Structure 1
Amino acid sequence: MTVRVLCTAVPGSGLFLPTVPLAWALRAAGHEVLLLNNGDGARAAAGAGLPVVDPLPERDLWAEFLAAVAGMLKGDADREPERGGFGWFGQHMIDGMLPVARAFRPDLVITTTEQGAGRLIAADLGVPLVEQGIRLGWAGLEEHVVTSRRDIADYLEPTRQRLGLPEAPVEPVATIDVRPPSMGGTATDTQFLMRYVPYNESRVVPGWVALPPERPRVCLTLGSVLPALGGVGVLRGILADLSTMDIEILLALGDIDLSELGELPANVRPLGWMPLGALMPTCAAIVHHGGSATVMTPLVHGVPQVSLPKFADQPLNAKLMADRGVGLTVAEPEQVGAALARVLDDPAFGKAAAEVRDEIAEQPSPAAVVARLAELV
């Protein structure tokens, strides 16, 4: 039986790109799939070879969201949205999403927790709603997810009433959990464990990336949000410390202007945008901000980690990683160098990382989960 599946998420890369492998698996199984996303999220979906519609092409909601966050951090009241929270995305996207969804006539809607519009669409069409977990720290049946789900539903209640949509249960009929069991992953009759498959967009990878390095190779990244909020300056001291170590540093910061860092140390290679999954097989460690996708990708490859978390779910992701023995989390940039030296020198971190890697490999693949999703229709 062919199932028609509508997938949606918030357009931020870290909140959308982890959903791509399941959409691939649905299409590979012969199901019809349509994604609804905005701005860079829509363009990334198209780049991943997926059918996608941008319901609000005249706006870039993620750019607006980051500008508002930056304004709040700077105390600029004029840049603050009238209401904060992830429900804001559903509020602004739903008017364009509904006509497309009604025309597509899905049998199933898959959404992330953050995109509350998926719940409204499923209710309008009378089809099952599945929530796809994409985070390590906020996932599955955890209290934070349950609370966030309800908060977003409350946020969108005026929108639901304005559009005359039927009331809908806050809870989805099923959830997908990508966490390894030793880090919280839980399987129930309505919660499906799924192997995390990294996807960080596609790029042509230089040949040397795949070759064994002459000295330990360490990836250094801050994800996509922190650099956009002006967080690159924190790297100056970190790079100065790491320049004294006998390592090769892969600096993965996207298309951010690095001029404020001055002349880079001799052991640093700036890469721009490069899929983390392509870098991890030859890396001995990674230093990062604690973003969920940035923690999960090295877990898949068994790479030890050092995390300097800042906000959102980053501290929880970093704590879960450190508690599992896969790496260390530090509070200040000045602590990164010593933590990295310890992670590289102590084989216990590599052993724990290899254990988690093997655990993830044994989890049901997206293809296996697709079969369970089809049974919900």
Structure 2
Amino acid sequence: MLFATIPWKTHFYPMVPLAWALRSAGHDVRVASEPEFLDTITEAGLTAVPVGSGETVEERIRRIRGEDVSGAPAAPFSKNSLYELGKAPRQSLSWEEISWIYNHVVVPQTWLLNDEMVDDLVTYCRSWQPDLVLCDVLTCSGAVAADVVGAAHGRLLFWFDLTLRMRQDFLRAQERQPPGDRADMLRDWFAEWTRKYGRDFGEELITGDFEINVMPERYRLQPHEQTLSQRYVQYNGRSVVPSWLCEAPRSPRVLVTFGLSSRQWEPEMPTVSEKQVQDILDSLADLDIELVLTLSSEERERIHRIPRNTRVVDFVPLDIIVPTCSAVVHHGGTGSFHGPLVHGVPQIVIECSVDAPAKRTVLREAGAGMSIAPDEVTGPRVKECLTRLLEDNAFRVGAERLRQEALAQPTPNALVAELERVTAEHRARR
């Protein structure tokens, strides 16, 4: 079993519990990524396979974009339709809208994150002959390698499946275009690589033979024809329980965290500024709560006033602190969202993540929390939302209901047998 991932912790960490479940069941498990990521993989106790160049992703972005690292321009239209949940028919994006996303976001991101990995991944898979290649949604190079050696190919979903929804929007819009105006840059990227290795393009390269999805079923963005459900299990990397967490909080504990991913190379994503953080702290200073704020030492130096009810830490394992909290305020990252979800803790999402509109819908429909747009983040606004979360027991009831739906899904260990069956099925077809 080969896991393939881009060198971002937020994409690798959710893979670790399943990788260990497979290894504990007796399978040979390895994880392929770029050289800059090898220490992170081996720190998780897993076997790493280096693929790609020695250049880091940050260095590559700077080399390609120069000093302008702002990424793709903002879409000249609303993308809210991409995030609509529910069974009611949705308004698909038009050809102009979806092709703009493909040409300006999806395809440039695909070749930037994958071109350096493809050849090495194919070479390694030809040598090792994995039965299954499991990839996060951005590691398209793993799909190419799986196709070349006839391995089953699964996609790991720890968020909403924008890839599948965008592909279906694209194909529907493409059918309505004149034959000479149906350019498909994502297909072209895959076809160029598969042609190099004597293979033909197939849609399963984009969508996977199957997917593994941790979202409770009724909140999934787009159903795959073959979806395996898995309970989300938190992994945070190296974790130590701080002594202050061994005592029960004297007041309601509130965690405010804007995630490790905000410290990685994602310059195009909105973030919460130090000025906004200071405004939040000032506004929450008179509440009878124990506020735990995660900030790096560099960020902490730019915060001038720390209220008496606030503890500032560089890092604290989410699976250790979240169960002790009455509410969590976060940026919408994978771990920050799923941690409160599986522990039944109400949450406030500052909508910094790309799939924030869908998370907003989940929290609203489940009655498990609230959300705030980045440009609306002020101290008084956060205080207003947090006070409602702490005083209205309905949010706790909604969060517990959502937790039960999440816990009803199979654990990684319980998923192993089904994963073995699906792998054998797709291997036999090839």
TM-score range normalised by the length of the shorter chain: 0.7 to 0.9
Q: CA deviation at 1:31?
A: 0.3
Q: Distance in 2 between matches of 1:236 and 1:92?
A: 41
1:43 aligns with 2:87: no
| Larger Cα-atom Rg | 2
Deviations 1:169-221 (A, max 9, x none): 23222111111124238888721111111112122121322431001111111
1:158 aligns with 2:192: yes
1:291-306 correspondence to structure 2 within 5 Å = 291-306=333-348
Give the counterpart letter for 2:15 in structure 1: T
Question: Does the 8 A contact of 1:116 with 1:153 survive in 2?
Answer: no
Q: Distance in 1 between matches of 2:390 and 2:161?
A: 28
Question: Does the 8 A contact of 1:124 with 1:166 survive in 2?
Answer: yes
Which residue in the other structure is 1:126 paired with?
Answer: 150
Question: Does the 8 A contact of 1:179 with 1:185 survive in 2?
Answer: no
Among 140, 144, 166, the residue aligned to 1:116? 140
1:102 aligns with 2:144: no
Question: Does the 8 A contact of 1:8 with 1:36 survive in 2?
Answer: yes
Which residue in the other structure is 1:356 paired with?
Answer: 402
Q: CA deviation at 1:369?
A: 1.6
Q: Given the superposition, is the C-alpha separation of residues 108 and 75 from structure 1 closer, same or farther in structure 2, using an over 3 Å criterion?
A: closer
Q: Given the superposition, is the C-alpha separation of residues 293 and 278 from structure 1 closer, same or farther in structure 2, using an over 3 Å criterion?
A: same
1:314 aligns with 2:348: no
Which residue in the other structure is 1:24 paired with?
Answer: 20
Give the match's secondary structure for 2:29.
strand
Which residue in the other structure is 2:99 paired with?
Answer: none
Give the counterpart letter for 1:245 in structure 2: L
Q: Given the superposition, is the C-alpha separation of residues 201 and 55 from structure 1 closer, same or farther in structure 2, using an over 3 Å criterion?
A: same
Q: Given the superposition, is the C-alpha separation of residues 148 and 75 from structure 1 closer, same or farther in structure 2, using an over 3 Å criterion?
A: closer
Q: CA deviation at 1:311?
A: 4.5
Q: Which runs of 5+ in 2 are unaligned?
A: 74-103, 172-183, 425-430
Give the counterpart letter for 2:290 in structure 1: E
Question: Does the 8 A contact of 1:183 with 1:324 survive in 2?
Answer: no
Q: CA deviation at 1:231?
A: 4.3
Q: CA deviation at 1:315?
A: 3.1
Give the match's secondary structure for 1:199.
coil
Give the match's secondary structure for 2:302.
helix
Give the counterpart letter for 2:230 in structure 1: M
Q: Distance in 1 between matches of 2:354 and 2:252?
A: 31
Q: Which runs of 5+ in 1 are unaligned?
A: none
Q: Distance in 1 between matches of 2:33 and 2:297?
A: 22
Given the two structures, how large is their TM-score scaled by the length of structure 1? 0.87
Give the counterpart letter for 1:372 in structure 2: E
Question: Does the 8 A contact of 2:161 with 2:222 survive in 1?
Answer: no
Deviations 1:274-331 (A, max 9, x none): 2211111111110011123311111011110011113422332233223321100112
Q: Given the superposition, is the C-alpha separation of residues 374 and 311 from structure 1 closer, same or farther in structure 2, using an over 3 Å criterion?
A: closer
Which residue in the other structure is 1:192 paired with?
Answer: 228
Which residue in the other structure is 2:80 paired with?
Answer: none
- Is the deviation greater in 164-173 or in 245-254? 164-173
Q: Given the superposition, is the C-alpha separation of residues 66 and 190 from structure 1 closer, same or farther in structure 2, using an over 3 Å criterion?
A: farther
1:143 aligns with 2:187: no
Deviations 1:340-377 (A, max 9, x none): 11011100111111111122222111112211111122
Give the counterpart letter for 2:120 in structure 1: G
Q: CA deviation at 1:168?
A: 4.2
Which residue in the other structure is 1:215 paired with?
Answer: 251
Give the match's secondary structure for 2:116.
helix
Q: CA deviation at 1:27?
A: 0.3
Deviations 1:216-253 (A, max 9, x none): 11111111233455744231211211222111111123
Q: Given the superposition, is the C-alpha separation of residues 324 and 42 from structure 1 closer, same or farther in structure 2, using an over 3 Å criterion?
A: farther
Q: Distance in 2 between matches of 1:146 and 1:9?
A: 24
Q: Given the superposition, is the C-alpha separation of residues 113 and 28 from structure 1 closer, same or farther in structure 2, using an over 3 Å criterion?
A: same
Q: Given the superposition, is the C-alpha separation of residues 154 and 306 from structure 1 closer, same or farther in structure 2, using an over 3 Å criterion?
A: farther
Q: Distance in 2 between matches of 1:71 and 1:340?
A: 37
Give the match's secondary structure for 1:32.
coil
Q: Given the superposition, is the C-alpha separation of residues 227 and 55 from structure 1 closer, same or farther in structure 2, using an over 3 Å criterion?
A: closer
Give the match's secondary structure for 1:35.
strand
Give the counterpart letter for 1:343 in structure 2: L
Q: Given the superposition, is the C-alpha separation of residues 45 and 97 from structure 1 closer, same or farther in structure 2, using an over 3 Å criterion?
A: same
Question: Does the 8 A contact of 2:255 with 2:292 survive in 1?
Answer: yes
Q: CA deviation at 1:255?
A: 5.7
Which residue in the other structure is 2:238 paired with?
Answer: 202
Q: How many residues align?
A: 367
Give the counterpart letter for 2:238 in structure 1: S
Which residue in the other structure is 1:177 paired with?
Answer: 213
Q: Distance in 2 between matches of 1:239 and 1:110?
A: 42
- Is the deviation greater in 250-259 or in 263-272? 250-259
Q: Given the superposition, is the C-alpha separation of residues 263 and 152 from structure 1 closer, same or farther in structure 2, using an over 3 Å criterion?
A: farther
Q: Distance in 2 between matches of 1:242 and 1:227?
A: 24
Deviations 1:111-134 (A, max 9, x none): 122110111011110111111111
Q: CA deviation at 1:40?
A: 5.6
Q: CA deviation at 1:71?
A: 3.5
Among 64, 70, 77, the residue aligned to 1:73? 70
Give the counterpart letter for 1:249 in structure 2: L
Give the counterpart letter for 1:305 in structure 2: Q
1:54 aligns with 2:50: yes
Among 99, 110, 117, the residue aligned to 1:93? 117
Q: Given the superposition, is the C-alpha separation of residues 357 and 94 from structure 1 closer, same or farther in structure 2, using an over 3 Å criterion?
A: same
Question: Does the 8 A contact of 2:7 with 2:34 survive in 1?
Answer: yes
Among 377, 388, 402, the residue aligned to 1:333? 377
- Is the deviation greater in 18-27 or in 286-295? 286-295
Which residue in the other structure is 1:244 paired with?
Answer: 286
Percent of residue pairs bearing the same amino acid type: 28
1:372 aligns with 2:414: no
Q: Distance in 2 between matches of 1:199 and 1:240?
A: 32
